[in-house]
Amino acid sequence: MTSLLHVDSSHSGDSVSKRLTALFADVWRARNGTAGYTYRDVFAEPVPMVSPAYVALGTRVERHGVVPLEKVHALVEGADEEREWALTLPLIKELRSADTLLVGAPMYNYSVTTALKAWIDRFSFPGAFADPDTGAKLLRGTRVVIVTARGGAYGPGAPREGLDFQEPYLRGYFGNLGVEDLRFVHAEFTRAADIPALHAFQDDREASLTAAREAVTELAAYAVTSPACVTTRSTKP
C-alpha cells in the first residue's frame, strides 16, 4: 500500500505552507485513498526535545555499531531512558514505513522552526536509518517533498541569497540519510501584502504562490517530470 507521512511545522494560524501541503495531501488522497495517509502537526502536538537520557542511550547504542531497532531496548538503562526510547521508536517506525514524506517548512529566522527541528532531532537516533547487516541507508527509496514559505526572497541573485539556511540544511540532512528523490517547492514573498517594505513585490508573491500550487499538485500526482525545485525569484532590492 502506498503511504504518505504529512508533517506540518508552522506556528501560524494563517499558514501558507499548511495550505500548500493540504493541497498536496488532497490530491494524493484522491489518487491513492486515505488508508495510507498519516498526518502530524509538530507545532500543535510538539515532539519533546531530546534529553540527557536520550543522549546517553544514543551514545551507548552507537558504541555497538548499527543496532537493530528491536534490540535497542536491551541497552536501555533506567526509567528516563525507557521514556526517551518510548517517545522515539514510534517516530522512527513512522518515517521508515512512509513511501513519501511531505514536510511543510516555513522559514523562521532564515532556518526551520523549533518544532520541526525537535521532530528531526528526536527521530535522528544513531543507526535508525541504516541496515544493520549492510550499512545501506534505508531511506534511499523514500520520496521527500519539502514545501517552504518565505516572507521575502532567498534564491540565486536575491539580496538575501546568502541567508538561506533552510534549504541547505534540509537538503544536507535528508541527503545524508540517503534520500535520493528530494524535491523542494518554495513560496516566496509571502509577506508582501502586509509588510510595507515588500509591497512592491505583491505580483511576485502571487506568481510564486501560483507556481507553488501547480508544483505541489503535480508532485502529489507523482508526475515523473516534476521539477526538483520550484520557486519565483526576484533580484530586486
Could you tell me the pLDDT band of residue 53, with boundaries at 50, 70 and 90?
A: very high
Could you tell me the pLDDT band of residue 25, with boundaries at 50, 70 and 90?
A: very high
Q: What residue spans define the domains of the chain?
A: 4-230
User: What is the b/e burial string over 15-41, where b = at least 16 CB atoms within 10 angstroms of the residue's CB?
Assistant: bbbbbbbbbbbebbbeebeeebbeebe
**pLDDT higher than threshold 70 for residue 226:** no
| Mean pLDDT, residues 117-124 taken together | 98
| Mean pLDDT, residues 140-146 taken together | 96
Reading the block at residue 150, the C-alpha cell is 518565505
Check if the beta carbon of residue 47 is closer than 8 Å to that of residue 122: yes
Check if the beta carbon of residue 175 is closer than 8 Å to that of residue 182: yes
Which CATH architecture describes the domain 4-230?
3-Layer(aba) Sandwich (3.40)
SS3 18: helix
Q: In this predicted structure, what is the pLDDT of residue 156?
A: 86
Site of grid cell 519539502: 146
**pLDDT higher than threshold 50 for residue 98:** yes
The H or E element spanning position 82 is: helix 78-96
Distance, C-alpha 94 to centroid of its chain: 13
